[in-house]
Each structure stands twice: as C-alpha cells, then as structure tokens.
C-alpha cells in the first residue's frame, strides 16, 4: 500500500511539472493560475497543495531531483576525476537545456540557485582535494560555475561539455 502511495505521489508531481512546462511554452509564468495548472495536470487543487506551496516549488522540486541524481551518480562513481565530474555537470545541464531556457525566457532562472547550491555544496565535500574548500571558495565556485553554465546553455560558442571543464580548470590553476 505504501509503495502505491509513493508511486501515486510521484505520478502527481510529474503530471504537475509536465503541465506547468507545457503552459509555460504558451503563456507567461506569472499569469498561470494554480487552477489552470491543476486542470491541465488532471489533479485537484488539494493534490497540488498536498505537494507544493507554489508554482515555483514545482520547478525547484524538479531541479533538486535532477541535481540529486547527478550527485549520486558522481558519488557512486568515485573514480570520476574533478574534470570528469565537471564534464558530467555540463552534460546534465545540456540534457535539461530546454527547461533552463524556459526559465530564462520567463525571468525565473533564479529558481535553479538553491537546488544548484545544495548539490554543489555536497559535491565539494566529496571533492578530491582539487582546491581549498573554505566557505568563500565554495561560494565562488557556486556562483562562478552557475553563471558559466547558464551562459553556456544560452550560447555554447562552440564549446562542448567536455571542453568546458578543461577551460575552467586552466583558469582556476592560474
């Protein structure tokens, strides 16, 4: 019974995400109502509020999950070097490019900040000693990497997900 409830919960959350993304393709984010979102997702408002407090929470929940999957992949594959881990990070962003660009289009890309910060904080705790892991270094890495990833998603300037980490490491080593 518990397993069924978990599956139902995840299904409802996925329906809400997909409905929100579909609505965002056609109209402004701030004009999408919870009622409209629930109708599109085929769920009740009660179901929505059982899982989320706002539309923003739906999107943040998705990115928390994506970044957690990325983190788990990297931790489980402890043979990844720092460069390989950064490369996988760029791969994940490329795989989610359409969603990130959609957030950018609606001026809500800031919804990625908390999930990204949480993931990178965890990652740096597992880093292979590539660099000092003090609070300010961590904040520098979070901010710098986030801005680079966002720019790269908008216009890669011909740089691949495997070339970007090498370039960033060269910069950091100077």
pLDDT in tens, 101-124: 999 999 999 999 999 988 887 777
Residues 117, 134, single domain; the answer is yes
The total number of structural domains that make up the chain? 2
CATH number, position 35: 1.10.10.60
pLDDT above 70 (res 130): no
Tell me how far apart the alpha carbons of residues 115 and 117 are, in angstroms, rounded to a whole number: 6
Which pLDDT value is given to residue 129?
54
Which pLDDT value is given to residue 128?
54
| The last residue of a domain, from among 27, 52, 77 | 52
Residues 33, 88, single domain; the answer is no
Tell me how far apart the alpha carbons of residues 9 and 93 are, in angstroms, rounded to a whole number: 26
Instruction: Return all residues near 148 (Cβ < 8 A) that are at least 6 apart.
Output: 164, 168
pLDDT above 90 (res 2): no
Residues 28, 99, single domain; the answer is no
Specify the range with the lowest mean pLDDT, choosing from 29-33, 118-122, 154-158: 118-122
The conformation of residue 96, written as its DSSP 8-state character, comes to T
pLDDT above 90 (res 13): yes
Which pLDDT value is given to residue 77?
73
Residues 77, 156, single domain; the answer is yes
Residues 41, 124, single domain; the answer is no
Tell me how far apart the alpha carbons of residues 112 and 93 are, in angstroms, rounded to a whole number: 11
Residues 160, 114, single domain; the answer is yes
* Cα 18 to Cα 88, 139, 156, distances in angstroms: 25, 32, 26
Q: What percent of the chain has pLDDT over 70?
A: 91
Count CB neighbours of 27 within 10 A. Answer: 11
Residues 31, 65, single domain; the answer is no
* Cα 101 to Cα 35, 107, 116, 134, 153, distances in angstroms: 25, 10, 16, 32, 8
Residues 77, 155, single domain; the answer is yes
With cut-offs at 50, 70 and 90, classify the pLDDT of residue 133: low
Residues 109, 145, single domain; the answer is yes
Tell me: the pLDDT tens digits for 37-57? 999 999 999 999 999 999 999
Residues 138, 158, single domain; the answer is yes
Q: Where are the beta strands (DSSP E) in the chain?
A: none
Residues in the chain: 174
| The last residue of a domain, from among 15, 30, 52 | 52
With cut-offs at 50, 70 and 90, classify the pLDDT of residue 131: low
Residues 88, 168, single domain; the answer is yes
Which pLDDT value is given to residue 82?
76
Can you tell me the mean pLDDT for 91-98? 91
Residues 93, 37, single domain; the answer is no
Left, alpha or beta for 42 (phi > 0: left; psi -120 to 50: alpha)? left
* Cα 26 to Cα 11, 29, 31, distances in angstroms: 23, 9, 11
What is the domain extent for residue 101?
56-174
């Amino acid at each position: 019974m518990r397993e069924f409830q978990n599956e139902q919960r995840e299904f409802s959350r996925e329906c809400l995400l997909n409905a929100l993304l579909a609505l965002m393709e056609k109209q402004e984010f701030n004009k999408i109502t919870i009622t409209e979102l629930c109708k599109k997702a085929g769920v009740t408002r009660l179901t929505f509020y059982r899982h989320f407090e706002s539309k923003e929470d739906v999107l943040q929940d998705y990115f928390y999950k994506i970044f957690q999957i990325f983190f788990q992949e990297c931790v489980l594959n402890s043979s990844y070097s720092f460069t390989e881990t950064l490369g996988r990070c760029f791969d994940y962003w490329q795989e989610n490019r359409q969603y990130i660009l959609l957030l950018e289009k609606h001026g809500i890309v800031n919804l990625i900040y908390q999930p990204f910060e949480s993931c990178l904080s965890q990652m740096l705790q597992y880093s292979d000693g590539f660099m000092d892991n003090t609070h300010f270094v961590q904040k520098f890495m979070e901010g710098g990497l986030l801005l680079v990833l966002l720019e790269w998603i908008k216009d890669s300037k011909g740089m691949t997900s495997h070339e970007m980490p090498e370039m960033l490491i060269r910069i950091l080593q100077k």
